[in-house]
Amino acid sequence: MTAARRIVLSSDHAAIPLRQAIAAHVAAKGWEVVDIGPTTTESTDYPRHGEAAARRVASGDCALGIVVCGTGQGIMMAANKVKGVRCGVCADTFSARMIRAHNDANMLALGARVVGEGLALEIVDAFLTAEFEGGRHATRVAMIKALEA
Ligand code: RB5
């Protein structure tokens, strides 16, 4: 399968069951899932896992990424430090659609202590099925990219 249908998943210890549910869900939708763990519930540091997933996306190995921690906030902040990554944390489907449509986000962050599994999977679907609209939004995304230069 090409990178265009490959998605990387990562989390910290606070979000392993939700990450595994997302992995099964997106695999059933036809995505090749690269689940980079962790696999134990031992306390671990979300910045490491956010960075590792973000590097898979920034390198082009994976088209998209989903990262999960307790709130989604910390792992999102870490992912966004990797050049080329635009990651938004979402707790609703509208935002999940819009971060792709308007912001060309290539990563989604979720909070396992914020949203239940049912809503999380709907958010994932909204993120995966939305498309970047380009036009004036491309100009603004280019401005974001310029901040990285
Ligand atoms: C871990 O306790 C928690 O801080 C982490 O999962 C996340 O919520 C950080 O943003």
**Going by C-beta distance under 8 Å and a sequence separation of 6 or more, which residues neighbour residue 109?**
50, 66, 67, 68, 69, 72, 73, 75, 76, 79, 87, 88, 89, 90
Neighbour tally for 84: CB within 10 Å: 13
Domain 3-146 has CATH 3.40.1400.10: yes
What are the boundaries of each domain within the chain? Answer: 3-146
pLDDT in tens, 54-105: 999 999 999 999 999 999 999 999 999 999 999 999 999 999 999 999 999 9
* pLDDT tens track for 20-29: 999 999 999 9
Which ligand 1 atom lies nearest to the CA of residue 14? 6
Pairing of strands 87-89, 107-111: parallel
Best substitution site from 10, 12, 76, 80 to test ligand 1's pocket, by max atoms within 8 Å of Cβ? 12
Confidence label for 52 from pLDDT (cuts 50, 70 and 90):
very high
Binding pocket residue ranges, ligand 1, CB within 6 Å: 12, 14, 46, 69-71, 73-74
Torsion on CA atoms 61, 85, 94, 136, rounded to nearest 10: -110
Q: Using the predicted structure, report yes or no on whether residue 1 has a pLDDT greater than 80.
A: no
Q: Per this entry, what is the length of the chain? A: 149
Contacts of 42 (CB under 8 A, 6+ apart): 13
Q: How far apart are CA 27 and CA 138, in angstroms?
A: 30
Q: Tell me the catalytic residues.
A: 69, 102
Q: Indicate if the pLDDT at residue 8 is higher than 80.
A: yes
Per-residue confidence band for 137, with pLDDT thresholds at 50, 70 and 90: very high
